[in-house]
Chain A
Amino acid sequence: MAGTRLIVNGQSHEIDVAGETPLLWVLRDTLGLTGTKYGCGMGLCGACTVHLAGDAVRSCQTPVGSVGSRKVTTIEGLSPDRSHPLQLAWIAEQVPQCGYCQSGQIMQAAALLTQNPHPTLEEINRAMNGNICRCATYQRIRRAIQRAAQEGA
């Protein structure tokens, strides 16, 4: 799909890859946006979560050819200066340990708060259940989302 246009974090890119290529590898290998992580390649772990027209999607399961004109937002584009309420809350609650899954966690949580600015604990668990953290920072993730919901609204 030579000459295909992809809009990522507000920037337009001309890319030359097969349409079946997962968005994940286009972001990481073609565009050098390595904040979005590979974890399972099967949509099981959520490490590759990005926003497609505002919705959280697994970029490892999203063929780049299916993106079309929809805008892609990655962790690098969530805020220009690490100022998104969730990023601030992640720092305040000291969520990350190894940090590898946290881009996906934050992007998933950001989509949740857009749809549901004040989620209950149960709603947080349900929305975040597809995102694995092996350091298992889950308790802090819950607290950070609640904090962002309070402070970011």
Chain B
Amino acid sequence: MSTETIANRREFLKATTGSSAAYILGFCLPGRAHAESRSEGEAAIFKPNAWLRITPDDRITILVENPEMGQGPRTMEAMILADELEADWSAIRVEQAPVIPEIYHHLKTGGSGGTEWAWDNLRQAGAQARETLVSAAAERWGVAKADCRASNGAVLHDPTKRRFTYGALVETASKLEAVKADAVPLKAPSEFRFIGKPRPRLDVPAKTDGSAKFGIDVRAPNMLFAVMARCPQFGGKLVSFDAAAAKAVPGVRAVFEVPPIRWLQMGNFGRDINSAGGVAVISDSTWAALKGRQTLKVSWDKGAGDETTESLRKQLLKQAAAPPSYVAVNQGDVLQALAGSSKKVEATYELPFQAHATMEPMNTTVHVRDDRIEVWSPTQIGEIHRQEIAQLAGTPPEKVLVHMMFCGGSFGRRYQWDYVAQAWQVAKEMKQPVQLLWTREDDMQHDFYRPYSYHRMSGGLDERGALTAWSHRIVSTPIRAVFDSPEELKDPKHVASQELSGARVIPYETANFRLDYAPVHSVVPRAWWRSVASSFNGFAVECFVDELAHAAGRDPYEFRLSLVPETQKVADGGDAPLDTSRFRAVLKLAAEKAGWGKPLPAGHGRGLACFYSFDSYIAHVAEVSVKEDGTIRVNRIVSAVDCGTAVNPDGVRAMTEGAINYALGPVLTGEITVKDGAVEQSNFHDYQVLRIDQAPDIEVYIVPSNEKPGGMGEPGVPPLAPAVSNAVFAATGVRLRRLPIDPQGLRKA
């Protein structure tokens, strides 16, 4: 095991062995420093709060809560804390915080919220430590604290030119009453040394030599390897199986049924975890487990098993014209305004299911011991898994030790509970650690997909080309229906609640605005796919604005600016307010940098989209070229980003580039379809994701800002598909209203 895991285990044991209650208290109470009782000769550690340890050798360890899935929280969190701490960057090392939710409250990440969470908490944590260290130095010197200052890992007394490194102050600082975290002075942005300046990521070197440990890389003594056979049909179940041949495969140790797990109630909180169960094959190597699974004879009950993408589409189209189940916004009188408008524009948009397809497929390793359960998982939600496994096993949560491993991508997939529950189900039958691996096929066919959505839009323009009405009907296979109780799902507002983001708060001003919703049932599991509902609503909204602009005979960029108020906060209570001045600023920046309006060769086109999500504003300008055979090439994306304070600007760039490419795959090729209740695609040959030869040149421009940081993992996704789609229209005059692109529709006659 890595040293990190060993450190975590030590922390865990200390935290769970009752005798060290004082240790936990000192560790978790943000306001109190403490001297940990220690035996003779053991070095002192200064731990003013749960995120920081300083040792006499001047080493600074920062414990990071957010899981590392590629978005760079280790470096970003360390930068925030170290800046206020006035640390010497070279002294810093980072560890994943142990999964002890009694101490740490953000051992998960979702909704691009990691940096926003870290901003206040870790600045305070760093400042608290800094102030305590300065007090310690003042006490040692017998001088006024006001005459001392912290700088680059040391406290200085300028009048006498004396200096203590932080390490030299550990002993004294540990005994001081710590300054209250919420009472410490924070730095002004002009004083930041790390925040806002590009910094190489701390996890990158280990990701260039194979030493970074992902969940799939966990290797424990006597570990076994397992795979499961699962019913291809959603809603299907196991009838019987014959394991004789599988058990004869050399290396296979056991074959048994894994029962389904559906509803899991944990105190006041319950949820359908959607684990359909199956048959597990446990072996002494992955290959033997795979061979064993191949020879299994399994009989499945396919359940309803008759859903197809076509049958689903029929339902979506039907619901697009049916009365809504929920009216989210109804401002003014849209019907009357549309009837009275000088020009009425109508369009429909359709986006299919998408898989997450993380490069590291789902997996988890579990060791069920007599006295505790140890879980190693690539997960977005370490703290939830502790509770989940404790509940399933009927054991106190303190007896479950979860190690949050590096995630080989996530994009929302690892917010699920199914793969960890199954790993526990398999491991509890064996007295050894077991790694349950999902093959690529398992992963692609048993994902929780982006919802299928259909959008019916209507807009009205007056004779001057101003927007008089906006109507948006969203029809989708709602996420809530996959997880929530029948009681919760009686409320149509609740059912719609994960489907509306990006459609409810829009920057375009109109007196008459309606947004309503109608759900469609599907057996296909859905959940949070990078940027969630904004990924489909962004497409509908930003394509439709473009259509309106052309109907009004206006330039799409000028038209947008004419509809977005100069300074206004647009909110409806559901999301954080959209600041129209920031929206306008990224729109202008992207247009300027892309050379909006400059001529392009024939067959080329430029398209624009701008979107606000997860408290960040991003505009993309896409340049495409379309060949005679209808195939398109995206040549260049110019992107303007306002994410508030860009803690690590290079990280902001990386996230923007990644989001652009991730979103481009489903524009060009990728689509999950269903036949007989099962997913038709199985691997990267029939679910095609973006490859390097399709990757455009990307330029990212970051708006300087001292606002609180917004999210960056997701916001680059929503405006990409509409920007490309609008560019294709500019190049060809053909509107793309269903993705992925069908080149047939663009082929020159």
Using a CB–CB cutoff of 8 Å, the interface residues on chain A facing chain B are 17-18, 21-22, 25, 28-30, 32-42, 44-45, 47, 74-76, 78-79, 82, 87, 90-91, 94-103, 106, 124-126, 128-129, 131-142
The residue that A75 contacts in the complex, of B210, B285, B655, with Cβ under 8 A, is: B210
**Distance between B15 CB and nearest chain A CB, rounded to angstroms:** 29
- Of the candidates A21, A28, A75, A100, the one whose C-beta lies within 8 Å of that of B409 is A100
**Assembly CA distance A128 to B692 (angstroms):** 7
Please determine whether A82 and B359 come into contact, CB atoms closer than 8 angstroms. no
Q: Is A94 a contact of B684 with CB atoms below 8 Å?
A: no
CB distance from A84 to the nearest CB of B (A): 9
Q: How far is the CA of A38 from the CA of B287 in the complex (A)?
A: 12
Nearest A-chain residue to B659, judged by Cβ = A136
B72, CB-defined interface residue at 8 Å:
yes
**What's the minimum C-beta distance from B367 to chain A, rounded to whole angstroms?**
17
User: CA separation between A32 and B221, bound complex, in Å?
Assistant: 11
Whether A37 contacts B359 by the Cβ 8 Å rule is yes
Query: Would you call A134 and B209 a contact (CB within 8 A)?
Result: no
Given contacts A90-B208, A96-B204, contact A47 B359 (CB under 8 A): yes
Q: How far is the CA of A74 from the CA of B209 in the complex (A)?
A: 9
CB-based contact A136/B658 at 8 Å:
yes
Cβ of A81 to closest chain B Cβ, rounded Å: 9
Q: Which residues of B contact A103 (CB under 8 A)?
A: 210
Q: Which of B200, B205, B210 contacts A33 (CB 8 A)?
A: B210
- Contacting chain A: which of B92-100, B212-220, B312-320? B212-220
A99-B406, A100-B409 known; A40 and B683 CB under 8 Å?
Answer: yes
- Some 13 contacts from A to B, beta carbons below 8 A apart, are A29-B285, A34-B216, A38-B361, A39-B359, A42-B685, A44-B684, A45-B440, A90-B204, A96-B204, A99-B212, A99-B406, A135-B409, A136-B657
A interface, over-half SS: loop
**Alpha-carbon separation in the docked complex, A136 to B359 (Å):** 11
Residue of B nearest to A97 (CB): B70
Instruction: List the A side residues contacting B437 at CB < 8 Å.
Output: 38
Please report the C-alpha to C-alpha distance between residue A16 and residue B539 in the assembled complex, in whole angstroms: 54
- In whole Å, how far is B362's beta carbon from the nearest beta carbon of chain A? 12
Q: Which of A30, A32, A41, A96 has the most CB of B within 10 A?
A: A96
Distance (Å) between the CB of B729 and the closest chain A CB?
A: 25
- Would A94 and B286 be within 8 Å (CB), given that A45-B359, A47-B359, A139-B657 are in contact? no
Q: Which residues of A lie under 8 Å from residue B203 when comparing CB positions?
A: 96, 99
Determine whether B691 belongs to the interface, using a CB cutoff of 8 Å to chain A: yes
A125 to B690, CA, bound (A): 12
Assembled-state Cα–Cα distance A92/B461 (Å): 52
Binding site of B, secondary structure by majority: helix, strand, loop or mixed?
loop
* Number of A-B residue pairs at CB separation under 8 A: 178
Say how far A139's CB is from chain B's closest CB, in angstroms.
Answer: 6
The answer to whether B208 touches A126 (Cβ under 8 A) is no
CB distance from A141 to the nearest CB of B (A): 7
Chain B 641-681 interface 0/1 with A at a Cβ cutoff of 8 Å (1 = within): 00000000010001101101110000000000000000000
Bound form: Cα–Cα A142–B358 in Å: 21
Report A57 CB to chain B, min CB distance, Å. Answer: 17
From A36, A39, A82, A131, residue with most partner B Cβ within 10 Å: A39
B211: A residues at CB distance < 8 A: 35, 76
CA distance A131 to B698 in the complex (A): 20
- Least distance between B245 CB and chain A CB atoms (Å): 16
Q: Is the CB of A97 within 8 A of B684?
A: no
Q: Mark B395-422, 1 if CB is under 8 A from A, else 0.
A: 0000000000011111100000000000
A66 → chain B, closest Cβ, in Å? 15
With A25-B287, A135-B658, A142-B692 known, 9 other A-B pairs at CB within 8 A are A34-B213, A42-B683, A45-B440, A87-B209, A96-B208, A98-B359, A134-B662, A138-B692, A139-B657
Taken together as a complex, chains A and B put the C-alpha atoms of A11 and B407 apart, in Å, by: 30
Contact B692 A141 (CB under 8 A): yes
Q: Any chain A CB within 8 A of the CB of B69?
A: yes
Contact string, B174-216, partner A, CB cutoff 8 A, digits 1/0? Answer: 0000000000000000000000000011011111111111101
Give the size of the chain B interface in residues (CB under 8 angstroms).
60
Expressed in whole angstroms, the Cα–Cα distance for A140 and B439 within the complex equals 28
How many Å lie between the Cα of A54 and that of B580 in the bound state? 56
Q: Is B303 engaged at the interface, CB distance under 8 Å to the other chain?
A: no
CB of B360 within 8 A of chain A? yes
A82 to chain B, nearest CB (A): 5
User: Are A40 and B684 interface neighbours, CB within 8 A?
Assistant: yes
Cα distance, A98 to B69, chains bound together (Å): 5
CA distance A82 to B286 in the complex (A): 29
Q: Contact between A76 and B692 (Cβ–Cβ < 8 Å)?
A: no
In chain A, what residue has the closest Cβ to B356?
A134
A100 and B357 contact, Cβ closer than 8 Å, known pairs A18-B250, A41-B440, A45-B684:
no
Q: Is the CB of B359 within 8 A of A133?
A: yes
B24 is an interface residue with CB less than 8 A from chain A: no
Q: Which residues of chain B come closer than 8 Å to A87, judged between CB atoms? A: 208-209
**A136 CB contacts on chain B under 8 angstroms:** 657-658, 660-662, 690, 695
- Interface residue B470 (Cβ < 8 Å from any Cβ of A): no
Write the nearest CB–CB distance from B446 to chain A, whole angstroms: 16
Considering the chains assembled together, what is the distance between the CA atoms of A77 and B400 in angstroms? 37
B210–A36 CB distance below 8 A: yes
Interface centre among B68, B225, B361, B691 (most CB of A within 10 A): B691
**Chain A residues whose C-beta falls within 8 Å of the C-beta of B68 in the assembled complex:** 98
Which of chain A's residues have a CB closer than 8 A to the CB of B210? 33-36, 74-76, 103
Complex Cα spacing A146 to B524, Å: 44
**B359 near A94 (CB under 8 angstroms)?**
no
Q: Tell me if B572 is interfacial: C-beta within 8 Å of chain A.
A: no
Q: Is the CB of B692 within 8 A of A82?
A: no
Tell me how far the C-beta of A64 lies from the nearest C-beta in chain B, rounded to whole angstroms.
10
Chain B residue nearest to A90 in the complex (CB): B208
Assuming the contacts A91-B208, A132-B689, asked whether A39 and B440 have C-beta atoms less than 8 A apart, the reply is yes
Contacts of B535 in A (CB 8 A): none
**A128 CB to closest chain B CB, in angstroms?**
5
**B395 CB to nearest A CB, Å:** 30
Q: Which of A42, A45, A91, A142 contacts B200 (CB 8 A)?
A: A91
Flag if B286 contacts A134 (CB, 8 Å): no
Give the residue name and chain of the A residue nearest to B223 (CB): A29
Is the CB–CB distance between B689 and A134 below 8 Å? yes
Complex alpha-carbon distance, A75 and B210, angstroms: 6
Chain B residues positioned under 8 Å from A138 (CB to CB): 661, 690-692, 695
Answer whether residue B697 sits at the interface, using C-beta atoms and an 8 A cutoff.
yes
Do A32 and B250 have beta carbons less than 8 Å apart?
A: no
Partner of A42, one of B406, B440, B655: B440
Chain A residues positioned under 8 Å from B407 (CB to CB):
98
Closest beta carbon of chain A to B688's beta carbon, Å: 10
The answer, yes or no, to whether B371 is at the interface (CB within 8 Å) is no
In the assembled complex, the CB of B453 is this many whole angstroms from the nearest CB of chain A, namely: 22
CB-defined contacts of A106 to chain B, threshold 8 Å:
208
- Closest-CB distance, A50 to chain B (whole angstroms): 11
B71 touches A (CB below 8 Å)? yes
